[in-house]
Amino acid sequence: MHKPDFIFLDFDGVIMDSMALKLDSYCHAFAGMGFDREAIRALQLASAGLSRQKTIPLMYESLSGQPMPDGVYREALARFTDHDDASRSSMVLMPGAEAFLTAARREGVWLAIVTGTPQEVIEKTVSHFDIGRFFVRVCGSPGGKAEHLGRMLREFGLSAERCLYVGDAIKDQEAAAAVGMPFVGVNTDFAVFRAGDLALLVPDLGHLIPALQS
């Protein structure tokens, strides 16, 4: 793999070890509705990469067999957000993430975060962990991942083929494919990928450090 000009990174499950905490937040959002935790986890895996605003009503409809009423949605989203905010201090960086971020900065490879997490929330988390210095952009929702990738390719005058998008979900894989960018999958317990469009599969970001130096 040649040294990439720019690397775009999903956040949860790639930089931050937070997927189990996100599951707790989804369970908290649906507390009292009688939904099984393992069923919620399965839907979390299936919808990984989507924003919470899209995931919560999709989960509800799958679990209840009915569209989610607007009032129930607003309450569940608020409960998820409150629990997620309270969980921030319990989050930790993924193995290899700090070493990778430091190496990318040393080698002059630009990085950006492209996530489905709401913009305000991802900015708070990046600030909380004092890692903003590693990124030239931090992009959350609203705005789809392919939309963010395409815009930054144009803004920075990049060739998609000489960049990478690193994620842990099919939605990340699809976003990379939509703009013609090679995709690297981080293979965690929560990761789900389709058979094609995988340039590389790694257990964590630390295993991408050699690509920064090639």
Instruction: Quote the pLDDT of residue 114.
Output: 98
Q: What is the per-residue pLDDT across 136-188, written as a single tens digit (0 to 9) for each?
A: 999 999 999 999 999 999 999 999 999 999 999 999 999 999 999 999 999 98
Bridge partners (DSSP) listed for residue 201: 185
Q: How many residues does the chain have?
A: 214
Bridge partners (DSSP) listed for residue 130: none
Instruction: Quote the pLDDT of residue 45.
Output: 86
Q: 48 near 192, Cβ under 8 Å? A: yes
129 DSSP assignment:
T
pTM over the 0.85 mark: yes
Bridge partners (DSSP) listed for residue 139: 114
Strand order through the sheet with 110-118: 137-141, 110-118, 6-9, 163-167, 183-186, 200-202
Instruction: Quote the pLDDT of residue 179.
Output: 98
Q: Please tell me the distance from the alpha carbon of residue 185 to that of residue 156, in angstroms, as a whole number.
A: 24
In this prediction, the residues of the chain whose per-residue pLDDT falls under 70 are 1, 214
Give φ, ψ of 75 to 5 degrees: -70, -45
